[in-house]
Amino acid sequence: MRNGSVAPLPGGLWVLAEHDQGRILPVVFELLGRARLLADRKGCPVAAVLPGPGDETVVSSLIAAGADEVLACADPTLAGLPEDPCTDLLAHLVRQHAPEIFLLGATAWGRTIAPRVAARVQTGLTADCTMLDIDPQTGLLLQTRPAFGGNLLATIVTERHRPQMATVRPGVLPEPVCDTGRCGRLLIVQAPPLTNRLTELVRLVLPPEQGIASARVIVSAGRGIMSQKNLALVRILADLLGGQMGVSRPLVDMGWAPVTCQIGQTGQSVAPDLLIACGISGAIQHIAGLGQVRTLVAINTDPEAPIFQVADYQVVADCVPLLRQLVRDFSGRQSDGGPGSEAAAP
């Protein structure tokens, strides 16, 4: 790794390196992996833009994931990633160095920052992309995302304005294979003077638990679980397997589960090693959250259920007695009469 204050390489593909108090978020590595692939197709460099100090381990990890250079700004006003100074910095860097493409994670923070930066530099932004590619003819970024309520996939191009900006949700793109032998350079950049500060970070409240986005095992339920009481079986099995419970949107709408458990287009994208989907039909809006599931086991009474088209294992069965049996098998105790013992309605 080389340090320096020279300008970044022109015409680059940038990725915003969002971090949580110095810990780079997994979505950044996912974006860098894809950015590397796209940059190789396009023949341009990849830069990670880091609003924070360029600590050696952080910079090395970004380079290993695909960055050619890391633009770090250690200005104290950026501590805690407040929105106004970060927007000022990113808009300033974009204006100064004119990247071709700028990718951000569709996290809560990324979704706040991306439209602000896009508005400042007067370019377009495609939010929540599920796939990114390069058009071999034009070299433009092909930004694919669900449209019209998720009933079709639209591929959007930003022909005239630069940079071409897109956000991608965590867990949608695969993790990159990191190469610790890759070489890159660290560029120290300066923050511009703060123009106007509309918000101030008063207090940082961390979520109590990590949520399903990072769970290795998920047992999920849809309307086929039939009752809220039966949902307890799903939670118990998830606990026994060391995982978490996921649900389809109707269960959230009915108030059976919190929205933090919802998988899909308007919920979480998940990437577990194992997901057992119980009584879920497989609507396109639900499948949108399953892109990175390693092994998907679907249990459904309907052999024609769309979820079977994407499942690795298809179990045509009533999920309630099956769940009860699995709970018994994994816990080594009878669960009849216990939580979730209500029989499924036909």
Ligand X SMILES: Cc1cc2nc3c(=O)[nH]c(=O)nc-3n(C[C@H](O)[C@H](O)[C@H](O)COP(=O)(O)OP(=O)(O)OC[C@H]3O[C@@H](n4cnc5c(N)ncnc54)[C@H](O)[C@@H]3O)c2cc1C
Site of interaction with ligand X (CB under 6 A): 149-150, 222-224, 226, 248-250, 262-267, 279-281, 283, 285-286, 299-302, 305, 318-320, 344
CB of 209 to ligand X, least distance (A): 20
CB of 168 to ligand X, least distance (A): 16
CB of 240 to ligand X, least distance (A): 20
Q: 3-class secondary structure for the chain?
A: CEEECCCCCCCCEEEECCEECCEECHHHHHHHHHHHHHHHHHCCCEEEEECCCCCHHHHHHHHHCCCCEEEECCCHHHCCCCHHHHHHHHHHHHHHHCCCEEEEECCHHHHHHHHHHHHHHCCCEEEEECEEEECCCCCCEEEEEEECCCCEEEEECCCCCCCEEEEECCCCCCCCCCCCCCCCEEEECCCCCCCCCCCCCCCCCCCCCCCHHHCCEEEEECHHHCCHHHHHHHHHHHHHCCCEEEECHHHHHCCCCCHHHEECCCCECCCCCEEEEECCCCCHHHHCCCCCCCEEEEEECCCCCHHHHCCCEEEECCHHHHHHHHHHHHHCCCCCCCCCCCCCCC
CB of 307 to ligand X, least distance (A): 7
Give 33 or 289: the residue with its C-beta nearer to ligand X. Answer: 289
CB of 259 to ligand X, least distance (A): 10
Give 87 or 248: the residue with its C-beta nearer to ligand X. Answer: 248
CB of 285 to ligand X, least distance (A): 3
